[in-house]
């Protein structure tokens, strides 16, 4: 049971980190693009 949970966490961890790192950058770049194109 714990091995399966550990495997799930091990597989999901990079995706969680990726989403935490990538999503804010994507939001910032989209907002800056809208801001730049609005001028």
Residue 39 has pLDDT above 70, yes or no: no
Residue 1 has pLDDT above 80, yes or no: no
Residue in the block written with tokens 């990079």: 14
Q: Could you tell me the two tokens for 17?
A: 């980190």
- Please give the model's pTM, rounded to 2 decimal places: 0.41
Distance CA 27, CA 25 (A): 5
Supply the mean pLDDT for the chain: 85
Range of the domain at 5: 1-39
CA dihedral 20, 25, 27, 32 (to 10 degrees): 160
Q: Is 15 exposed, middle or buried (0-12, 13-18, 19+ CB in 10 A)?
A: exposed
* Total domains, the chain: 1
Q: Report the share of the chain in percent with pLDDT over 70.
A: 97
Q: How far is CA 22 from the centre of its chain?
A: 4
């Amino acid at each position: 049971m714990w091995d399966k949970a550990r495997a799930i966490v091990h597989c999901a961890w990079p995706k969680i980190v990726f989403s935490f790192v990538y999503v804010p950058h994507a939001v910032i770049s989209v907002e800056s693009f809208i801001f730049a194109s609005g001028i």
